[in-house]
Amino acid sequence: MSTDKVKIGIIGGSGLSNPEILKNGYEVSVDTPYGKPSDALICGEIEGVACVLLSRHGRGHKINPTNVNYRANLWALHQVGCTHLLVTTACGSLQPDMHPADIVVIDQFIDRTQKRQQTFFDGEPTSPPGICHLPMAEPFCPRTRKILYNCAKELSISCHEKGTMLTIEGPRFSSRAESKLWNSWGAHCINMTTVPEVILAKELGLCYAALALVTDYDSWKDDEEAVNVENVMKTFQTNAANATAVILRAIPQIVKEDWAATIEENKKFVKMNTLLPHS
């Protein structure tokens, strides 16, 4: 596949949406049937590949995880032609073998959110027709995940090949009792944004993969300081460069591969699982 068929969206989490990684960057303000995204899209090139940057919480971190308009963010990136989404997210560790500064190329999620729209197929006249019951056995794009993991390894970054992200509603962190429960469930890490972002990306047929950057031990671990904003931001800022390095290395590798069949399959999958109105 030639580079002009692949366009890579990058959604930066808390502290990672640095527009300087793009060449020839320019801003595009878009509107969608679901409202406005968190910020203007910043379009440009990385290693000669068309890329689009979006700050999940808006530049200056103005939008809390519940109020992020995930549908508008994902629709906007799809509307400008993105085929792939590489996202970063800060997260807490829920297991003893995951440590602050590690990266997890998550492959599963557990949904503990309560107040979010999880589908574009909402019956509104401006939405796609039908009801989509999207299978979620494999939420993330395995091909894109593999490239991210290999790039992290090549860079000698401490990286886990897979992991289950538990997404809470927030904005508060978990109580100690909750955190111990998530740990007993076998979830590996915890954040506030993977759901519904990955679900909506799948509804649009996008190849979506996430680099979860561990910033803290949440509050299950009795011998560690419980999560707070200071330890999250400090660890994230110190280690965000690792996530950026993985993304910069992955982009040329993604473009080298042929994605036509995968993108076609993704679209077919959504179609197959959408019930259209009939009389």
Active-site residue list: 216, 218
191 binds ligand ADE (CB under 6 A): yes
Q: Smaller CB distance to ligand ADE: residue 38 or 215?
A: 215
90 binds ligand ADE (CB under 6 A): yes
Site string for ligand ADE, 197-216 (x = CB under 6 A): ------------------xx
164 binds ligand ADE (CB under 6 A): no
Binding test (CB under 6 A) with ligand ADE, winner from 109, 173, 208, 259: 173
91 binds ligand ADE (CB under 6 A): yes
Q: Smaller CB distance to ligand ADE: residue 29 or 175?
A: 175
Q: Smaller CB distance to ligand ADE: residue 78 or 160?
A: 160
* Least distance from ligand ADE to the Cβ atom of residue 204, Å: 25
Counting residues that bind ligand ADE (by CB under 6 A) gives: 13
| DSSP states of the chain | --GGG--EEEEE-TT---GGGSEEEEEE---BTTB--SS-EEEEEETTEEEEEEETTTTTT-S-TTT--HHHHHHHHHHTT--EEEEEEEEEE-STT--TT-EE---EEEEE--S----S-SS-TTSPSSEE----SS-S-HHHHHHHHHHHHHTT--EES--EEEEE--SS---HHHHHHHHHHT--EEESSHHHHHHHHHHTT-EEEEEEEEEE-TTT-TTSPPP-HHHHHHHHHHHHHHHHHHHHHHHHHHHHS--HHHHHHHHHHHHHTEEPP--
Binding test (CB under 6 A) with ligand ADE, winner from 187, 190, 204, 210: 190
Question: Binding residues for ligand ADE, per CB under 6 A?
Answer: 90-92, 168, 173, 190-192, 215-216, 218, 227, 232
